[in-house]
Amino acid sequence: MATIDDVREIALALPGVEERTGGHTGEPAWRLKSGQIAWMRGPTGADLRQLESLGRAWPEGPVLGVRVGSVEEKEALLAAEPEWLFSIPHFDGYPGLLVRLDAIESERLVEIIADAWLLRAPARVAKEWLAARGLE
């Protein structure tokens, strides 16, 4: 089980990441100069109505939105890890997915946030970060 504090610690440990509060809900988001990598996401009224029409509901507990590399990658992750990853109609066609923080394992959360960071990080910084971890 992960918390918003875990997300904050993981994200802010990555080079260049800063936390901002704002958006529609005033919840925290983590970003680089090149764009957002992760954000806390609560449901909007439209989300709840759309999910209800599909016979689904917004999960209990905190939810994190994250960028992924492509819609195809998103679909593969959703199929492989439905116990803690999900999507909503608002994200159709968008390379992002939602993470149930109360269900995900800490190690997997680190990987998901790092992968989102790698999508936005400057190439040189990403290469150095990967090399320092033996992941080139």
Sign, CA dihedral 74-95-9-136, equals: positive
Which contacts qualify for 48-55: CB closer than 8 Å, 24 or more apart?
A: 50/88, 50/89, 50/90, 51/88, 51/89, 54/89
Give yes or no for a contact between 3 and 106, defined as CB atoms under 8 angstroms apart: no
Is the CB of residue 66 less than 8 Å from the CB of residue 38?
yes
User: Considering the domain boundaries, does residue 43 fall inside one?
Assistant: yes
CATH of the domain at 54: 3.90.1150.30
pLDDT tens per residue, range 42-51: 999 999 999 9
Whether residue 121 is contained in a domain is answered as yes
What's the domain count of the chain? Answer: 1
- pTM score: 0.93
**Residue 35, domain member (yes or no):** yes
Show the low-confidence residues of the chain (pLDDT under 50).
none
